[in-house]
Amino acid sequence: MSDYNLSRLNFLIVDDNKHMRALVKSILHALGVKNVLEASDGADAFKELRHFPADVIICDWNMSPLDGLDFVRMVRTGSDSPNPFVPIIMLTGHTEMNRVMEARDSGVHEFLAKPISAKKLYSRIRSIIENPRPFVRAGLYFGPDRRRKASPNYNGPERRQSEQEGGGNEGEVDASELSQDEINALLNG
Protein backbone atom coordinates (compact mmCIF):
# COMPACT_ATOMS: atom_id res chain seq x y z
CA MET A 1 0.00 0.00 0.00
CA SER A 2 1.29 3.45 -0.86
CA ASP A 3 1.28 6.05 1.89
CA TYR A 4 0.08 9.49 0.89
CA ASN A 5 -0.09 12.65 2.94
CA LEU A 6 -3.58 14.05 2.47
CA SER A 7 -3.17 17.13 4.65
CA ARG A 8 -3.19 19.63 1.76
CA LEU A 9 -6.32 18.27 0.12
CA ASN A 10 -9.66 20.04 0.52
CA PHE A 11 -12.65 17.73 0.84
CA LEU A 12 -16.31 18.59 0.36
CA ILE A 13 -18.75 16.12 1.93
CA VAL A 14 -22.28 16.21 0.53
CA ASP A 15 -24.84 14.19 2.45
CA ASP A 16 -28.27 15.00 3.83
CA ASN A 17 -27.66 12.78 6.85
CA LYS A 18 -25.70 14.71 9.47
CA HIS A 19 -24.55 11.49 11.14
CA MET A 20 -23.07 10.22 7.91
CA ARG A 21 -21.32 13.56 7.40
CA ALA A 22 -19.93 13.34 10.93
CA LEU A 23 -18.66 9.82 10.28
CA VAL A 24 -16.94 10.71 7.00
CA LYS A 25 -15.47 13.87 8.50
CA SER A 26 -14.10 11.94 11.49
CA ILE A 27 -12.44 9.42 9.19
CA LEU A 28 -10.92 12.16 7.02
CA HIS A 29 -9.53 13.99 10.05
CA ALA A 30 -8.08 10.72 11.35
CA LEU A 31 -6.39 10.28 7.96
CA GLY A 32 -4.73 13.67 8.38
CA VAL A 33 -7.07 15.81 6.28
CA LYS A 34 -7.29 19.35 7.65
CA ASN A 35 -9.81 21.09 5.47
CA VAL A 36 -13.29 19.56 5.26
CA LEU A 37 -16.46 21.40 4.32
CA GLU A 38 -19.94 19.91 4.62
CA ALA A 39 -23.07 20.46 2.57
CA SER A 40 -26.47 18.89 3.10
CA ASP A 41 -27.65 18.57 -0.50
CA GLY A 42 -26.56 19.05 -4.07
CA ALA A 43 -27.78 22.64 -4.40
CA ASP A 44 -26.03 23.66 -1.18
CA ALA A 45 -22.84 21.90 -2.32
CA PHE A 46 -22.90 23.63 -5.71
CA LYS A 47 -23.09 26.99 -3.94
CA GLU A 48 -20.19 26.06 -1.66
CA LEU A 49 -18.07 25.07 -4.65
CA ARG A 50 -18.11 28.68 -5.83
CA HIS A 51 -15.82 29.68 -2.99
CA PHE A 52 -14.39 26.40 -1.69
CA PRO A 53 -11.62 24.94 -3.86
CA ALA A 54 -12.51 21.29 -3.33
CA ASP A 55 -9.89 18.77 -4.44
CA VAL A 56 -12.22 15.83 -3.82
CA ILE A 57 -15.98 15.65 -3.38
CA ILE A 58 -17.55 12.80 -1.43
CA CYS A 59 -21.18 12.76 -2.37
CA ASP A 60 -24.24 10.80 -1.25
CA TRP A 61 -26.84 9.73 -3.81
CA ASN A 62 -30.21 10.16 -2.04
CA MET A 63 -30.71 13.81 -1.25
CA SER A 64 -33.32 16.42 -1.94
CA PRO A 65 -34.05 18.78 -3.58
CA LEU A 66 -30.98 18.07 -5.74
CA ASP A 67 -29.80 14.47 -5.51
CA GLY A 68 -26.28 13.16 -5.94
CA LEU A 69 -26.58 12.27 -9.63
CA ASP A 70 -28.06 15.64 -10.55
CA PHE A 71 -25.32 17.33 -8.56
CA VAL A 72 -22.60 15.36 -10.37
CA ARG A 73 -24.12 16.27 -13.74
CA MET A 74 -24.28 19.94 -12.73
CA VAL A 75 -20.63 19.91 -11.67
CA ARG A 76 -19.57 18.17 -14.87
CA THR A 77 -21.69 19.93 -17.44
CA GLY A 78 -23.22 23.05 -15.84
CA SER A 79 -22.22 26.18 -17.73
CA ASP A 80 -21.55 27.87 -14.37
CA SER A 81 -19.69 24.95 -12.82
CA PRO A 82 -16.66 26.19 -10.85
CA ASN A 83 -14.69 22.98 -11.41
CA PRO A 84 -15.97 20.42 -13.95
CA PHE A 85 -12.88 18.23 -13.42
CA VAL A 86 -13.05 17.78 -9.66
CA PRO A 87 -12.78 14.12 -8.61
CA ILE A 88 -16.04 12.82 -7.14
CA ILE A 89 -16.56 9.74 -4.99
CA MET A 90 -20.18 8.57 -4.94
CA LEU A 91 -20.95 7.23 -1.50
CA THR A 92 -24.17 5.27 -1.35
CA GLY A 93 -26.09 2.29 -0.11
CA HIS A 94 -27.41 1.73 -3.64
CA THR A 95 -25.14 -1.05 -4.79
CA GLU A 96 -27.19 -2.75 -7.49
CA MET A 97 -25.29 -3.10 -10.76
CA ASN A 98 -27.61 -0.79 -12.68
CA ARG A 99 -27.14 1.88 -10.00
CA VAL A 100 -23.36 1.56 -10.14
CA MET A 101 -23.44 1.98 -13.91
CA GLU A 102 -25.81 4.95 -13.62
CA ALA A 103 -23.40 6.65 -11.20
CA ARG A 104 -20.48 5.94 -13.51
CA ASP A 105 -22.38 7.39 -16.45
CA SER A 106 -23.14 10.58 -14.52
CA GLY A 107 -19.39 11.24 -14.31
CA VAL A 108 -18.17 10.03 -10.91
CA HIS A 109 -14.59 8.88 -10.45
CA GLU A 110 -15.17 6.30 -7.77
CA PHE A 111 -18.04 4.45 -6.17
CA LEU A 112 -17.94 3.64 -2.46
CA ALA A 113 -20.54 1.30 -1.00
CA LYS A 114 -21.98 2.01 2.44
CA PRO A 115 -21.39 0.97 5.15
CA ILE A 116 -17.93 2.48 4.89
CA SER A 117 -14.68 1.92 6.74
CA ALA A 118 -11.51 4.01 6.92
CA LYS A 119 -9.71 1.47 4.78
CA LYS A 120 -12.39 1.49 2.07
CA LEU A 121 -12.53 5.29 1.95
CA TYR A 122 -8.75 5.62 1.76
CA SER A 123 -8.55 3.02 -0.99
CA ARG A 124 -10.91 5.11 -3.15
CA ILE A 125 -8.93 8.30 -2.48
CA ARG A 126 -5.70 6.44 -3.27
CA SER A 127 -7.20 5.19 -6.51
CA ILE A 128 -7.92 8.78 -7.60
CA ILE A 129 -4.36 9.83 -6.71
CA GLU A 130 -2.71 6.91 -8.46
CA ASN A 131 -4.92 6.69 -11.53
CA PRO A 132 -5.57 10.18 -12.84
CA ARG A 133 -7.90 9.75 -15.76
CA PRO A 134 -8.35 11.90 -18.81
CA PHE A 135 -11.76 13.43 -19.31
CA VAL A 136 -13.91 12.57 -22.25
CA ARG A 137 -16.62 14.52 -24.00
CA ALA A 138 -18.74 12.10 -26.03
CA GLY A 139 -22.30 12.90 -26.94
CA LEU A 140 -24.05 13.96 -23.74
CA TYR A 141 -21.32 12.54 -21.53
CA PHE A 142 -18.61 14.66 -19.99
CA GLY A 143 -16.52 13.12 -17.24
CA PRO A 144 -13.59 10.88 -16.44
CA ASP A 145 -12.82 8.27 -19.05
CA ARG A 146 -15.04 5.32 -18.20
CA ARG A 147 -12.54 2.89 -19.71
CA ARG A 148 -10.09 2.55 -16.88
CA LYS A 149 -7.85 -0.03 -18.45
CA ALA A 150 -5.52 1.37 -21.03
CA SER A 151 -6.14 -0.19 -24.42
CA PRO A 152 -3.20 0.96 -26.57
CA ASN A 153 -4.45 -0.83 -29.67
CA TYR A 154 -7.82 0.84 -29.58
CA ASN A 155 -8.21 3.59 -32.17
CA GLY A 156 -11.95 3.69 -32.60
CA PRO A 157 -14.06 6.60 -31.55
CA GLU A 158 -16.63 5.39 -29.09
CA ARG A 159 -16.67 2.05 -27.41
CA ARG A 160 -19.47 3.13 -25.04
CA GLN A 161 -21.73 4.00 -27.92
CA SER A 162 -21.24 0.63 -29.56
CA GLU A 163 -21.88 -1.01 -26.19
CA GLN A 164 -25.15 0.80 -25.91
CA GLU A 165 -26.23 0.19 -29.46
CA GLY A 166 -24.94 -3.28 -29.95
CA GLY A 167 -24.88 -4.72 -26.48
CA GLY A 168 -28.61 -4.87 -26.24
CA ASN A 169 -28.54 -5.70 -22.55
CA GLU A 170 -28.73 -2.24 -21.00
CA GLY A 171 -32.23 -2.86 -19.73
CA GLU A 172 -31.45 -6.33 -18.51
CA VAL A 173 -28.72 -5.54 -16.06
CA ASP A 174 -28.70 -7.54 -12.90
CA ALA A 175 -30.49 -5.77 -10.05
CA SER A 176 -28.82 -7.82 -7.32
CA GLU A 177 -26.51 -6.04 -4.90
CA LEU A 178 -22.77 -5.98 -5.38
CA SER A 179 -19.98 -5.99 -2.83
CA GLN A 180 -17.34 -3.25 -2.95
CA ASP A 181 -14.92 -5.74 -4.53
CA GLU A 182 -17.47 -6.62 -7.20
CA ILE A 183 -18.11 -2.93 -7.84
CA ASN A 184 -14.38 -2.31 -8.25
CA ALA A 185 -14.09 -5.28 -10.61
CA LEU A 186 -17.05 -4.02 -12.65
CA LEU A 187 -15.69 -0.49 -12.93
CA ASN A 188 -12.18 -1.66 -13.69
CA GLY A 189 -13.26 -4.26 -16.22
Partner 1 sequence: MSDNKPQAQVIKPPQTLQGKVDKGGPGAVDLDALAKAEDVIANLADDYLNWVQEDLMKMEAAFTKMEKGDGDPKELLDNIFQVAHDMKGQGGSFGYDLMTAIGDQLCRLVEKMDKVGPREIGMIRVHIDAMKVIITKELKGDGGDEGRQLLMGLSLVGDKI
d(CA 159, CA 147): 9
Computed from CA positions of residues 23, 109, 40, 68, in that sequence, does the dihedral angle turn out positive or negative?
A: negative
42 binds partner 1 (CB under 8 A): no
- DSSP for 129-173 reads HH----EEEETTEEEE-S--S--TT---S-HHHHHHHH---GGG-
Among 101, 116, 173, 186, binds partner 1 (CB under 8 A): 116
179 binds partner 1 (CB under 8 A): no
163 binds partner 1 (CB under 8 A): no
174 binds partner 1 (CB under 8 A): no
149 binds partner 1 (CB under 8 A): no
181 binds partner 1 (CB under 8 A): no
Least spacing, CB of residue 101 vs partner 1, in Å: 18
119: Cβ contacts below 8 Å, ≥ 6 apart:
none
167 binds partner 1 (CB under 8 A): no
Distance of alpha carbon 112 from the chain centroid: 8
CB 25 within 8 A of CB 13: yes
Least spacing, CB of residue 147 vs partner 1, in Å: 10
Q: Give me the residues that bind partner 1 (CB under 8 A), please.
A: 1-9, 17, 19-20, 22-23, 26-27, 29-32, 55-56, 62, 85, 87, 92-93, 114-119, 122, 128-129, 132, 134-139, 145, 156-158, 161, 177
